[in-house]
Structure 1
Amino acid sequence: MTKKLKHIIFLLTGIVVLNYFGQGFYLRFDLTKDKRYTLSEVTSSIIENVDKQLIIRVYLEGDFPTEFQRLQIETRQFLEELKAKNSKIKIQFINPDEQRERLVKAGMFPSQLTVEENGKLSNAIIFPWAEIDYRNKTEIVSLLPNGVVQSQEEQFEAAIENLEFSFSNAINNITRKKEQKIAVLKGNGELQDIYLYSFLNDVRKKYRLAAFTLDSVEVNSNRTLRDLQTFDMALIAKPTEAFSEKEKLVLDQYIMNGGKTLWLLDNVQADTDSLYNGGKMLAYPRDLNLTDLLFTYGVRLNTSLIQDLYASKIPLATGNVGNQPQFQNLPWFYHPLVNGNPQHPITKNTAPVRLRFANQIDTLKNNIKKTPLLVSSLLTRKIGTPSIVELQSIAEEPKQESYQGGYQLFGVLLEGDFLSNYANRIKPFDVNSYVGQSKENKMVVIADGDIGKNQILKGQPYDLSLDKWTGEQFGNKEFLLNAVDYLLDDTGLIELRNKTLQINLLDKQRAFEERTYWQFLNVVLPLLLLFGFGFVFNYLRKRKYS
C-alpha cells in the first residue's frame, strides 16, 4: 500500500469518526442583536415536557410571494431550534393545495393577500397555519394573527414576532396534564350562555368551564365559598341584579384566597335592542351594589356614558328602492372603537375592541398596581345619566369642539396584595378562616358588560370577532382570551407576546424605482469586473512570457 493511499484512508476514517460523534452535539451561536433565535426559559421548559413524539405540520410550502418566503424561513429556523432542544419533535412543511377542503373543515381558513411585485398588484391565496399532533390530540396554530397594523409588511413583522408565543402556547396546551377551572357566575342576571358562546367556546378548548350560582349563599354561605374556591378564576359577565352582602363577602374571600376574577360590568342600563325597537330609550344608572367592593380594590365605575368620535358602525334604513329598504352603515358614537395598550401582552397587536354603551373607570390611590388596557381616543364626551338616547341623533353632524373629553379608561388590570372589603367591618356571616389581605393576586375590570356578548343570527350564536350587519372585524374575542390567559398564566408564557424584533423589510417602491441601478450593480458590474480582471491578467501574462 502506497503512502499516498494510506493518507487517503486515514483522512476518510477521520471524517467518518468525526461525523459519527458530531451527531450527538448541536451548537449554534445567536449573533442577532435582539436574540431572535434564542429560546426563552419558558419555551425551553415547555419543550422539556414533551415525552412522546410531537409532529408539527406547517402549511407554508409552495410558490409564495417574497414576504411569505421570509415567514417560511423564520418559521423553519424557529422550529429547528425546538427540534434541537428535543429530538421527539418532528417537523413537516406541506403544500396545502391538495388539502384545502380538510384544512377549512378543521378551522384553518385561507387568507387572501394583495401582493406587489415589479410594480404590479396581484392576489395570493395562502394557508398560514400549522397543525400539532401529540398523544392523539390536535392543536392548530395561526401563523398570521389578526392585529392592528398599518400595512401588510407590519402584519408579517407581527407574525414573526408572535412565532414563539404561538407555538409555545399551542404545545403547552396540548402537553399539559392539569386543566385549570373557570366558574361562570350565575344568579344575578348575567348574560345567557348563548350570548357568551363564541367567547366561551374558545375558552373551553384550554380550560374547564362550569356554571356557578351564588344563590346557595343564603342557605350555606361557607359551603358556597368552599365550592367557589375549587375554581381558579371567576367570570362575572354583565350582571343586571344587585349582589347581596353575603354574595359580596363570598367573592371578596374568594379573591383574598387567590381566586382570579374577570369583571365585565355595565353600570348603566342601556341596550341597543331597546333603541332599535322604539327609536329612543332612557339610559339610567344600574345599582349592582359593587361600588364599595371595587373601591377597596382600587377602581370606581362611573355612571356616565362615553361618546367617542372613533366609533364602530350600526346599520340604519335610509330609504326605499321599490319595496326594498336601503340600509347604510353609520358611525354610532355610543359604540367606541378602542385600542389596547401596545406595551402589555394582553393587548399588544390586537385589533381595536368594540364597546357598546360603555362607562368610564376611575383609578384610586392604594398599593395595587394598575395597568390601563382599553383607552378611548382623545375626541370623547361624557353623557350624564339618566338621559334620553335617541337614534335620530346619528344624523347630526358632530362638532369637534364638543368632543374634548380626552382619554377615557374602559379596562384596567389590577395586580398586588388586595385588602378585604370587610376588614374592620361587621360581616354578613361568620367566615371560616377569614383572610384580611390576599397574597399576590390579579383581576381585570372592564366597564362594559357587552364586550363579550356575541350576536345571534338565525337562532345561532355569531362570531364575537365580527359584526353580522356591517362585516366589521373587532378584537373583542382575542382581547378576552388574552385576559383569561394572563390571569391564569403561572408560567410567564403570556409575556412572550411582548417580544419585539427588529425586522428589516424590503422597500418595494424604492426597489421598483431603482431596479435598473440595482440590476446593473448586482449583475452587470460583477461581469465587467471579471472581464477586466481577465483582460489585465492575460495582458500581464503575455508581457511576462512573450
Structure 2
Amino acid sequence: MKNKYSKIVSIIFGLLLINFLASSVYKRFDLTEDQRYTLSPATKNIVKTVDEIVLVKVYLQGDFPSEFKRLQTETKLLLEELKTLNKNVQFRFINPTDIAQELIEKGLEPSRLQVQENGKVSEIVIFPFAEINYKSKTEIIPLLKDIYTNSQDEQLESSIQNLEYAFANGIHKITSKKSKKIAIIKGNGELNDIYIADFLLKLGEYYLLAPITLDSVVSQPEKTLTELSNFDLAIIAKPTEKFSEQEKYTLDQFIMNGGKSIWLIDNVVAELDSLIQTGETLVYPRDLGLTDLFFNYGIRINSDLVTDLYSSQIPLATGNIGNQTQFSDFQWNYFPLVNSLNNHAITINTEAVNFKFTNSIDTLKNNISKTILLQSSPLSTTTGTPSIVTLKSITQKPNQAEFNNGNKPLAVLLEGSFKSAYNSRVKPFNFNNSKEVGLPSKMIVISDGDVIANEVSKGQPLELGLNKWTNQLYGNKEFLLNAVNYLLDDSGLINIRSKTIKIAFLDKQKAYEQAYKWQFINVLFPLIILGVFGFLISYFRKKKYQ
C-alpha cells in the first residue's frame, strides 16, 4: 500500500516538474519545409537590441474570410516570436470597426477587397495596417502589399512573405539612430528637387541627406572630393549636362574609396511634353561624357530606345464635350513596365517599375560581378537614334513579330573592387588619397532618369510611381528604396526579402462545386465507423460471455 501511494506521489511530482520546466523554458521547432517560422539572424539582432517597450497595434481583429484569417494568424505568430526574443516587444490586435474614422484621419486608407464564398462574391473593407510605437515615435506598417497585377491569392502570399521584413524594418527604423549619409549630386542639370521630393522625403526617414554640387570642383577640386568622401552613397538623378574630367575624376575616386552610387542616366534626349505639344519629336543621343567611366566599370549604356508591348499608358486629348477636353488613355510602347526575372533582395515581390524612354545596357567582361535587376519583357525591341517619334504610332497596331528581341537589361547591379577609369592616365587634379584600384564597393546603373521622378499636380509632388491620369501606382519607389537599403545595409536586413514562402490556397470554385459531397462524407463516414466499432464490440462481448 505504501509503495502504491509513493508511486502516485512520484507521478504527481513528475507532472508538476514537467509543467514548471515547460512554462519556464520556451522552445519551438520549425518543421516546415521553407522554414517560414525561423527568424533570420538580422531580425534577431534588431529585436534583441530594443531597450524600451515597443508597442505594436495590429488592426486585424475581427471576423474575416479564411484567406485574411491566414494573414491575421501569420502576423500573430510572427509577433509572438519577436516577443519571445525580447519581452520589450508588446503587441495587441484591435478591431478597427469602432475607430475607422480615427484611422482614416491618421492616413490609413481602408482596402476594399473582393471575397468569394459559397459561390457568391462580396466586398469587405479592412484596415491591413500595424502601428509601431516607441517612445514618442510612431511607424505605420502596411500588411497588405499592393501587387496590382497579381491575383488576390498571390497578393496575400506576397504579403505574408513580406511580414518579417516589414516588422523588422519598422522596428529597426524607429529604434535606431540615423548614421548613413547620402549625397544628392547637383551641378550637371539633374532633376529639380520637386521632381525627386517624394523619394527624398522617404529616404530622409532612414538616412541623412545633403546636396553636393560638383561645380565647386573647378576652383576647389580636392576640397570637393574630400567633402564627398564623407558620404556613404551618391545619387546622380538624370543629369542633362556633360561632366567635365574633373567632375568625373571626383566621382571616380569617391567610388575607389568605397563609396556606393546609384546612376539614373538618360542617354538620349526624349521628353513626352514636347511630343504631346507638336505630335512628334526628334530623339537623339545625349553626350554626358560618362561612356569611358561606365565602360571601365564594366557596362555600356546604348544610345537607343527600348520599346515594349508590355507598357504603361499615356493620356491624349480625343475630343471635346462642351468646353471640356476629353482625354483617353493609350498604350505607349516607349514606357515599358519592367519586372525582374530573378529573386534578388532588391526586386523580389516588387510591383512593375515604370520606365520612360529608356535605353538598353550591355554588360562587359571584367572582374566585377554584375546582376541584372530589371529587364524588358520578351516582347520588346530597340530603336536606334537619332529618329523621329510620333504619336501617330499609337493608332497603328503593332506587329508582334517585330517585338521579338526582348529582355534588354535596364538596371544592373555591379559589385567588386573597381579599377579607376584614370588608371595609367593623366589625372585632372592631384588628390592625396587617390587609388588606381578601389576598395570593395557597389553601384547600380539604371538607364532611365525618370524612374526616380515623381509627377507634380497643382505645384505639389505626388507619390513616386503614381500615374496621376490612371491612378495606377507602380513599384518605382519600393525598387529604389530597396536599392538604397541594399547598398547601405550593414545589418543584413534587406536579405530577409529573399526569403520565399509558398502558401497553399483553397480552390474556391472547386470547393463550392464539391461542397455537398464532402459535407455528406464528413457526416456519414464517422457514423459508419462508429457503427462498425459498435457492432464488433457487441459481437465480441456476446461471444466472450455466451
TM-score interval, normalised by the smaller of the two chains: over 0.9
Aligned to 1:137: 137
TM-score normalised to structure 1 length? 0.95
Aligned to 1:516: 516
2:27 matches 1:27: yes
Shift of 1:224: 0.8
State whether residues 342 and 349 of structure 1, in contact with CA within 8 Å, keep that contact through their aligned partners in structure 2.
Answer: no
Alpha-carbon displacement from aligned partner over 1:466-499 (angstroms, at most 9, x marks no partner): 2111222211111111111111111221111111
Q: Which deviates more from structure 2 when the two are superposed, residues 380-389 or residues 407-416?
A: 380-389
Distance (Å, rounded) in 1 between the aligned partners of 2:356 and 2:152: 29
Could you say what secondary structure the match of 1:116 adopts? strand
Shift of 1:322: 3.9
Q: Percent identity?
A: 53
Shift of 1:535: 4.6
Aligned to 2:415: 415
Distance (Å, rounded) in 2 between the aligned partners of 1:341 and 1:214: 36
Aligned to 1:179: 179
Shift of 1:91: 1.7
Distance (Å, rounded) in 2 between the aligned partners of 1:348 and 1:107: 27
Could you say what secondary structure the match of 2:509 adopts? helix
Could you say what secondary structure the match of 1:305 adopts? strand
Alignment of 1:88-99 (within 5 A): 88-99=88-99
Distance (Å, rounded) in 2 between the aligned partners of 1:326 and 1:124: 34
Shift of 1:12: 6.5
Distance (Å, rounded) in 2 between the aligned partners of 1:205 and 1:132: 15
State whether residues 178 and 206 of structure 2, in contact with CA within 8 Å, keep that contact through their aligned partners in structure 1.
Answer: no
Alignment of 1:440-451 (within 5 A): 440-451=440-451
Shift of 1:444: 0.5
Distance (Å, rounded) in 2 between the aligned partners of 1:489 and 1:147: 25
2:375 matches 1:375: yes
Number of equivalent positions: 545
Alpha-carbon displacement from aligned partner over 1:345-394 (angstroms, at most 9, x marks no partner): 11111111111111111111111111111111122232222222222221
Aligned to 2:249: 249
Distance (Å, rounded) in 2 between the aligned partners of 1:104 and 1:249: 50
Q: Which deviates more from structure 2 when the two are superposed, residues 17-26 or residues 260-269?
A: 17-26
Shift of 1:48: 1.3
Could you say what secondary structure the match of 1:23 adopts? helix
Shift of 1:141: 1.4
Alpha-carbon displacement from aligned partner over 1:57-83 (angstroms, at most 9, x marks no partner): 111110101001111111111111111
Could you say what secondary structure the match of 1:440 adopts? strand
Distance (Å, rounded) in 2 between the aligned partners of 1:142 and 1:438: 40
Distance (Å, rounded) in 2 between the aligned partners of 1:544 and 1:510: 49
What residue identity is the alignment partner of 1:431?
F
Distance (Å, rounded) in 2 between the aligned partners of 1:351 and 1:89: 31
CA RMSD of aligned residues (A): 2.1
Could you say what secondary structure the match of 1:417 adopts? strand
2:40 matches 1:40: yes
Aligned to 1:465: 465
TM-score normalised to structure 2 length? 0.95
Q: Which deviates more from structure 2 when the two are superposed, residues 284-293 or residues 15-24?
A: 15-24
Could you say what secondary structure the match of 2:360 adopts? strand
Shift of 1:534: 3.1
Distance (Å, rounded) in 2 between the aligned partners of 1:107 and 1:489: 29
2:321 matches 1:321: yes
State whether residues 354 and 465 of structure 2, in contact with CA within 8 Å, keep that contact through their aligned partners in structure 1.
Answer: no
Aligned to 1:333: 333
State whether residues 341 and 348 of structure 1, in contact with CA within 8 Å, keep that contact through their aligned partners in structure 2.
Answer: no
Shift of 1:402: 2.6
Distance (Å, rounded) in 2 between the aligned partners of 1:434 and 1:470: 50
Shift of 1:522: 2.0
What residue identity is the alignment partner of 1:434?
S
Q: Which deviates more from structure 2 when the two are superposed, residues 213-222 or residues 384-393?
A: 384-393
Could you say what secondary structure the match of 2:326 adopts? strand
State whether residues 148 and 349 of structure 1, in contact with CA within 8 Å, keep that contact through their aligned partners in structure 2.
Answer: no
State whether residues 52 and 134 of structure 1, in contact with CA within 8 Å, keep that contact through their aligned partners in structure 2.
Answer: yes
Q: Give structure 2 stretches of 5+ with no counterpart.
A: none
Distance (Å, rounded) in 1 between the aligned partners of 2:532 and 2:112: 49
Shift of 1:148: 6.3
Shift of 1:191: 0.5
2:271 matches 1:271: yes
State whether residues 314 and 331 of structure 2, in contact with CA within 8 Å, keep that contact through their aligned partners in structure 1.
Answer: yes
Could you say what secondary structure the match of 1:423 adopts? coil
State whether residues 379 and 404 of structure 2, in contact with CA within 8 Å, keep that contact through their aligned partners in structure 1.
Answer: yes
Shift of 1:130: 1.1
State whether residues 370 and 412 of structure 1, in contact with CA within 8 Å, keep that contact through their aligned partners in structure 2.
Answer: yes
Q: Give structure 1 stretches of 5+ with no counterpart.
A: none
Distance (Å, rounded) in 1 between the aligned partners of 2:342 and 2:519: 40
What residue identity is the alignment partner of 1:107?
G
